């Protein structure tokens, strides 16, 4: 498939992964329509960090995923939809579960309805490894049971099952990608790596929640490559595909790796307020990526060490954008 001239809608375009996806698509000649949540300031989110020469090619669409009419208008005339729009903070979902469900579940319903009404050729729906909950076996393949251990993960499970139902019931050409713990430049401080990096760069103390859980960390450039490979492949309608590294690292070990890059040790304090409720903590995530390798010929290219170096360098250059030490939900 050629991206030249292809009309693409990206929901959540102002977010972390979405902004990187838009930056990748535009130089390939795609006509990209960015759905960005409306604010009175006309905020474009993390797209502000995309070079202006690239950004001038964007078609802007301001609205809210919960507005079915707005989503349908955005989908008109598009060949491909990348659906990344969501409220993704797990701590925020403990505080505002209704907003999270309305955005993630009803918002996805609106995207599916729009894709159906507008006869979109393909819809790439973005899930999350959080839907698996704590691993019952590793590595976690696409057949692993789903378990809602937070309102956020439950909302993503609901969105995933809606996507499946629209394929089965209405033949909507949807494929679900399930990234494992994407990280990299532009990620907000609600995620663990920027939380560690910003505190390590500005002091000798790092405040975190639980240190024992392990995560499968995937650099954002590799996640974007995987998502585009799904769109470019044939015969994947109705499929769910993991995008992960196939390696795991504990939060405690992650601190050590980041400190080695920053250049000095830190004292780690585990704060109760940063911990998830006991039965809500996902203790282990480790992706089985054999399906992605077989169907997409995709595998991550950026090592954890190199990805962390790039991330630390970017955060150091944009430290004013963060509030080091402040717990952000």
**Catalytic positions:** 152
Distance of alpha carbon 49 from alpha carbon 35, whole angstroms: 17
Helix (H, G, I), strand (E, B) or coil at 196: helix
Distance of alpha carbon 107 from alpha carbon 53, whole angstroms: 31
DSSP for 34-72 reads EEEE--TT---GGGGGS-HHHHTTPEEEEE-TT-HHHHH
Distances in Å between the Cα of 36 and the Cα atoms of 4, 33, 189, 328 are 23, 10, 20, 22
DSSP for 205-220 reads EEEES-SS-EE--EEH
The Cβ of residue 145 has, within 10 Å, a number of other Cβ atoms equal to: 10
């Amino acid at each position: 498939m050629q991206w030249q001239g292809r009309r693409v809608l990206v929901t959540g375009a102002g977010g972390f992964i979405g902004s990187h996806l838009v930056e990748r698509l535009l130089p390939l000649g795609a006509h990209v329509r960015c759905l960005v949540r409306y604010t009175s300031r006309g905020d474009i989110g993390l797209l502000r960090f995309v070079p202006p020469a690239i950004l001038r090619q964007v078609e802007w669409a301001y609205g809210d995923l919960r507005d079915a009419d707005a989503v349908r208008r955005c989908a008109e005339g598009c060949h491909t939809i990348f659906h990344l729009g969501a409220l993704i903070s797990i701590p925020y979902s403990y505080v505002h579960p209704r907003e999270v469900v309305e955005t993630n579940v009803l918002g996805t319903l609106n995207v599916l309805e729009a894709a159906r009404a507008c006869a979109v050729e393909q819809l790439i729906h973005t899930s999350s490894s959080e839907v698996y909950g704590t691993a019952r076996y590793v590595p976690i393949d696409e057949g692993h049971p789903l378990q809602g251990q937070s309102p956020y993960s439950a909302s993503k499970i609901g969105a995933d099952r809606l996507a499946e139902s629209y394929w089965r019931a209405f033949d909507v050409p949807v494929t679900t990608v399930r990234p494992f713990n994407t990280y990299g430049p532009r990620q907000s401080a609600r995620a663990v790596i920027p939380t560690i990096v910003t505190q390590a760069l500005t002091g000798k103390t790092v405040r975190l929640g639980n240190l024992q859980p392990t995560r499968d960390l995937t650099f954002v450039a590799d996640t974007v490559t995987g998502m585009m490979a799904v769109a470019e492949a044939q015969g994947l309608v109705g499929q769910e595909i993991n995008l992960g590294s196939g390696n795991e690292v504990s939060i405690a070990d992650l601190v050590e790796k980041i400190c080695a890059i920053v250049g000095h040790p830190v004292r780690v304090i585990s704060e109760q307020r940063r911990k998830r409720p006991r039965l809500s903590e996902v203790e282990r995530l480790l992706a089985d990526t054999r399906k992605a390798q077989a169907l997409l010929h995709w595998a991550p290219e950026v090592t954890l060490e190199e990805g962390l170096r790039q991330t630390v360098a970017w955060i150091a250059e944009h430290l004013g954008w963060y509030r080091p030490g402040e717990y952000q939900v």
